[in-house]
Every structure is written in C-alpha cells, then in structure tokens.
Amino acid sequence: MPGPEFRLAELQAQLGGEIQGTVDPILRGVASLEHATAEQLGFVVGGGHLKTARASQAGAFLVASSQLAAELDRPCLVVANPHASFARAVALFHPETAIQPGTHPGAVVDATVTLGENCEIGPGVVIEARARIGARARIGANSVIGADTVIGDDCRLYANVTVYHGCHIGARVILHSGSVIGADGFGLAWDTDRWLKVPQVGRVIIEDDVEIGANTTVDRGALDDTRIETGVKIDNQVQIAHNCHIGAHTAIAGCVGIAGSTRIGKRCRIGGGAVIMGHFEIADDVTVSAGSFAAKDILCAGTYTSIQPIMPHADWLKNAAQIRHLADMRQRLSALEKRFTEIAQKES
C-alpha cells in the first residue's frame, strides 16, 4: 500500500522554513543522501556534505542555510534545524499504524482494572488488580501490568514489557520490548554470615513523553521513588538503579549503568557504556562521554571524560606497571618538595 506523498510546499506548511528553487516536486519519502531517489527528500547538515548531496539523486533537500541551498541544483527547504525537521518529515511520511481498540480474547484483565476509551490490549497481556490504563493506550502482546499501576493516555507498550505493581507512568510514554519497570533494587544488608534482602517499597514514577529502549531496566525505590522526569530518552540495555532521579529531557545512550541514589540534572547527555557510581549528583547540561567512569559529583555544566584512549596491549602493560608505583612516586615527590622548601627558606 503506497504511503503519503507531499509537495515540497506542503512540507513547508508542516515544517516551516523557506523554499529556494522554482520547482515544487512531489515527494514520497525520505532517505539518506547516498540512497535517495528523485521522489525522496534528503538533508544536508553542513558544507562537508555538499559533495555527497550534489551526487545524490534526491529530489529536494532540507538545508540549514540559504548559502548551502545556493550550492545545490535542486529545490531546498531552508530550516533552522534540518536534523529536527528531517525527523518530523520522517514522521509525516511514516505515520503510526492506526490503533485497534479492544481487548484480545487471550488477554487476562482483572475485573477491578479501569480501561480508558479506545485502548488496544494485545494477546497474552496480563493486567492485575486495580490498575488504571489511560485512553488510547496500546499494550503489546504478553506484556504484564502489575497491581495498582497507572498507565497514562496515549502510551505505547510494545510486546513483552513488564511494569511491576504500583508504578506510575505518564502520558505518551513509549516502552520498548523487554523493558522492565519497577523490579526490586539491589538492596541487601550483611548479617553476620549472610545477606538479608531489604524490602524495596518505593515506586517508579515516569513522567510524560519519556521513551525507554528495549531490555532497559528501571528499579523501584527502596523507600522513596525512582523518578524519570518529562521528555527523558533512554536507549537499549540501560540499568537505572533504585532511588535514581533523572532530570527532564536528559538522553542516555545504550549500555549505561547508573548506580543507586544518583541524581542527574536536566538536559544531560550520557554517552554509551558510561558508568555512574551511586549517591552522586550531576548538574544540569552535563555531557558524560561514552565509556567514561563517573565516581564523584559533577556540579558544573560541561563535557566530562575519564577513559584512556585505546593503545597497543604492550604499551598498556607498561603504563599499568607504572601506575602501580604512583603512590610511592607521590611520597618521594612530596619529600623533594619539602626539602626544596626548607633549602629555599634557609637561603632567604
């Protein structure tokens, strides 16, 4: 079935910006510069992509400036942020499938559950007692919603999502397959010769417009709640431990591990594979580079990196051998500094 098509002027009406060029082509999709056809839209971020754009078969371009448009031989839509406009264009050409309201016969929904209007409940779904599901929510196959959980309007839970009891999820939240919300935090107490489990009695609170990737886990709070604020975007296979607080519009890339009781500010960017130790605070507008190890508070906005660049193994072994002597070298340096200070004082 063919998808939507738009003239460039129609896209301008939706995306804003200014058209440069006299042709108003019909566009039936979006594509990378390398693979675009004459019926597709490409985007050009900067001058470094001009060579690729000129060689592209794209019928029109989204560009960041009139200067870039002047360098191209096809119609352009000049916008302030071509990447964001391109994302909106993709959504126009690829709208979500229409919701199919109703509860599948294979779902198990407790009699005390409240379902909003036009919900879609897939096969094998289990919704436990007193849960409340908002209007137009879509619950994918084999997902499990625990007792007393609240799911907001227009949420999308893909297949095999688990939301434990008592969690609160806001409107327009997307949870991808395999994500687990509200499992027990890693709370243990040592008792003479064995570990005792500390009951985890907090919740997970997820605010509006959050997206959480596949196989990501967000643990419930030990006493207080774990909270994910509005607009946070979390990639696949991320671990967020109990009592963490993630500020609004922060983005966390794949395979990040965040230990318990960490507070991350608003609009932060956490690179893939980063490790953030627990009970620390990260200020607003902080970027943590991929693979970094954060083991103390970060109280000022900026970019922080803590990993050594890759090197030949033999060189790494030599450097590691020197690291073992750092404490001794520090003591010797302190002794030398003290000696030089004494000599300088005598001479003065």
Angstrom distance (rounded) from CA 27 to CA 64:
19
Q: Contact 41/58 with Cβ under 8 angstroms? A: yes
Note whether 250 and 265 are within 8 A (CB).
yes
Beta-sheet strand order (sheet of 239-240): 108-109, 126-127, 144-145, 162-163, 180-183, 217-219, 239-240, 257-258, 275-276, 293-294
3-state secondary structure of 40: strand
- How far is 143 from 127, CA to CA, in rounded Å? 8
Cβ–Cβ < 8 Å for 255, 275: no
Distance CA 43, CA 65 (A): 12
* 18 Cβ neighbours under 8 A, 6+ residues apart: 12, 66, 77, 78
- Amino acid identity of residue 81, one-letter, is N
Paired tokens of 199:
């009951």
Catalytic residue among 176, 242, 279, 325: 242
Strand-pair category, 188-191 with 194-197:
antiparallel
CA atoms of 86 and 61, how far apart (whole Å): 10
Which one-letter amino acid corresponds to residue 47?
A: G
Instruction: Compute the distance between CA of residue 282 and CA of residue 322 in angstroms, rounded to an integer.
Output: 32
7 Ramachandran zone, left/alpha/beta (phi>0; psi -120 to 50) = beta
The answer to whether residue 35 is catalytic is no
Catalytic residues: 242
